[in-house]
Amino acid sequence: MSDRVKLALVGCGGIAGAHMNGYRALKEAGILNFEFVAAVDVRREAAERRAQEAEALQDGKKVSVYTDLEEMLQKEPDVEAVDICALHRVHHELAIACLDAGKHVIIEKPLGVTMKACQLMLDAARRNGKVLATAENYRRSLTQRAINWAIRQGRIGAPRILVYLDYGEHLGPWGWRDSKLDAGAGWVLDGGVHYADMFRYHLGEATEVYAEVRSFDPHRYRKPETKEEPIPVTVEDSALAIVKFANGALVQWSSVRAAPGRGFNMHIIYGEEGSLDYGGNLTLRGKEPVNVREDYLQSLSEEERERLFPRGVEDTFATELWEFGMALRDDSFYPETDGVEGMKAMAICMGVFESAWFNRPVDLRDVENCRIEGYQEDINLALGIRDTSGTWNVWA
């Protein structure tokens, strides 16, 4: 078996470009651990573009192009793993087909379009004995690593409140992301699943969500400056939520894209003794702010630094992909954000929508185990997502 994992790229749109940049960073560092075999996209020109980029990373070695996943799986039996970067509504279909064909899978966030779709993927990974990883890169940045280290070191005392506020306005069209059936939800899921993952990374297990959700602007506009040529939107543009955690900490999370005028954001963790902002700045009572990044780097052993930032690579797409490849060759590695981690981050986002749907707090165990599906029901019905073979009880 070659040291390099034979890989197929599935879905060759915008986010696949970020993945290609990650592979390129690995190549430049001399640690690219993949051999590209195929590129698949329903748009042949998109697959051809990514195939050409992949060929450039392996000295021109040919990468086959396909517009149909099943054809690729049949004609490329040597493929060991797939990197899925498709629109949300087909994540589960593509992943399950690949897992059932005996391939390992890394899939862009969010893991699925509904919690039931996530369950189906987890079931497929389990029955086939394959790795399912979520491409969740935000927590891998040097700054987020440093913040997490400082919290674990007790630098702010026990965490109390994490404030995550984003306010601004977005009136321009965003393609398929404006459709609930295609995207699952709006920015609260699309970008929000990153934030939810960081909440869990820094604070631990989330237990309950209470939220209000609104769609103040039911249209986007091809000419946003003058609000001309409206496009119907079926996803939210505003959500205000409180998330409870098992350790007693709370998250105040507001994501608003319907706030004209002055926009702002605030990302701060408050503890018993002080605060850490998302720039890595530590502020204790009566003290000037200090950045924790350098202290964190000095705390790392050479082995730890090489594992987190191999050969000094800090590109977060690169390090998540490198780790996925290592997990398929070295038993001492396993994806930090596997399918379960991806599912749990998504459950916080879906908890926001289910809480607003039922107008009450929701237990995240019920969301994770698909016992609450008011908001998600029409997506599941429209996409033919049926009951899973059994509850994936991650709380057992």
Separation in Å, CA 73 to CA 37, 215, 224, 241, 310? 11, 41, 43, 42, 31
How is the beta sheet containing 81-84 ordered, strand by strand?
A: 64-66, 34-40, 5-10, 81-84, 104-108, 132-135
| Angle at 241 (CA atoms; ends 119, 121), nearest 5 degrees | 10
Residues of the chain with CATH 3.30.360.10: 140-302
Note the pLDDT tens digit of each residue in 324-355: 999 999 999 999 999 999 999 999 999 999 99
The DSSP call for residue 362 is E
- pLDDT tier at 2, thresholds 50, 70, 90: confident
In the structure encoding, which two tokens stand for residue 338, read together? 């596997």
The DSSP call for residue 177 is G
Residue 389 has pLDDT above 60, yes or no: no
Residue 1 has pLDDT above 80, yes or no: no
Residue 186 has pLDDT above 60, yes or no: yes
Average pLDDT over residues 244-271: 97
311 closest CA partner among 57, 29, 32? 29
- The CATH number that domain 140-302 falls under is 3.30.360.10
Note the pLDDT tens digit of each residue in 69-112: 999 999 999 999 999 999 999 999 999 999 999 999 999 999 99
Residue 392 has pLDDT above 80, yes or no: no
Note the pLDDT tens digit of each residue in 10-25: 999 999 999 999 999 9
Residues of the chain with CATH 3.40.50.720: 5-139+307-333
Share of the chain above pLDDT 70, in %: 97
- Residue whose token pair is 């190549």: 27
> Which amino acid would we find at residue 235?
V
Please, which contacts does 24-32 make with residues 24 or more away whose CB atoms are closer than 8 Å? 24/53, 24/57, 25/313, 25/315, 25/317, 25/318, 26/313, 26/318, 26/321, 26/322, 27/57, 29/310, 29/311, 29/312, 29/313, 29/318, 30/311, 31/310, 31/311, 31/313, 31/322, 32/4, 32/57
Residue 395 has pLDDT above 70, yes or no: no
- The CATH number that domain 5-139+307-333 falls under is 3.40.50.720
E strand map for 173-249: 206-214, 219-223, 228-232, 238-245
- pLDDT tier at 388, thresholds 50, 70, 90: low
Residue 363 has pLDDT above 90, yes or no: yes
In the structure encoding, which two tokens stand for residue 65, read together? 């192009």
326 closest CA partner among 38, 40, 31? 31
Separation in Å, CA 130 to CA 4, 127, 324, 331? 17, 8, 12, 13
